[in-house]
């Protein structure tokens, strides 16, 4: 794991437990989220996942590094980075065309799913 191996967001975990989309958006805007990274040398690269032979990818986000570890217990080199709202917004904006879904704590017990555009909109806080 990287330096963020002990990362945890109690705010995001509580929002997911309540299954409250507004609270999840608040947590993403005001706290940080664990983003899986590929175990590569060089610049950090976000790890995305794909269902079978699907054309697009899923971004999996976690309330803690430990929640990510529970999803893939057989892997030994799991890395995460704690992304704030700006970093997550930049990643989504750059990759929105190749993402089909964003999952939060996909291994449970309180998983939630959103579209990449909904997450991006929540991060942008557009005033009407």
Indicate whether 104 belongs to any domain: yes
- HSE-CB at 32 with a 13 A cutoff on CA atoms is 15
CB atoms within 10 A of CB 32: 20
Q: How far apart are CA 92 and CA 71, in angstroms?
A: 22
Does the pLDDT of residue 127 top 80, yes or no?
Answer: no
More reliable by pLDDT, 5 or 104: 104
C-alpha–C-alpha distance, residues 87 and 85, integer Å: 6
pLDDT band (50, 70, 90) for residue 126: low
Q: What is the pLDDT of residue 5?
A: 77
| Nearest Cα residue to 39 out of 2, 67, 6, 74 | 2
Nearest 10 degrees: Cα torsion 18, 3, 95, 62: -20
- Write the pLDDT tens digit of every residue in 26-73: 999 999 999 999 999 899 999 999 998 889 999 999 999 999 999 999
Band of the pLDDT at 3, cuts 50, 70, 90? low
Q: Is residue 37 part of a domain?
A: yes
User: What's the average model confidence in pLDDT over 1-9?
Assistant: 74
Does a structural domain hold residue 77?
Answer: yes
The pLDDT tens digits for 61-118 are 999 999 999 999 999 889 999 999 999 999 999 999 999 999 999 988 899 999 999 9
**The domain containing residue 45 runs over which residues?**
10-123
CATH code at 42? 3.40.1350.90
Instruction: Assess if residue 128 is contained within a domain.
Output: no
Q: What is the total count of domains within the chain? A: 1
């Amino acid at each position: 794991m990287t330096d963020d191996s002990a990362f945890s967001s109690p705010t995001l975990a509580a929002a997911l437990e309540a299954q409250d989309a507004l609270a999840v958006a608040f947590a993403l805007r005001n706290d940080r989220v664990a983003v899986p990274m590929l175990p590569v040398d060089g610049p950090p690269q976000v790890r995305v996942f794909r269902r079978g032979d699907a054309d697009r990818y899923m971004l999996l986000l976690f309330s803690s590094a430990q929640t990510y570890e529970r999803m893939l217990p057989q892997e030994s080199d799991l890395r995460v980075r704690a992304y704030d709202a700006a970093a997550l917004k930049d990643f989504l904006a750059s990759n929105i065309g190749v993402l089909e879904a964003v999952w939060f704590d996909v291994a449970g017990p309180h998983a939630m799913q959103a579209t990449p555009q909904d997450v991006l909109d929540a991060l942008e806080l557009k005033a009407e």
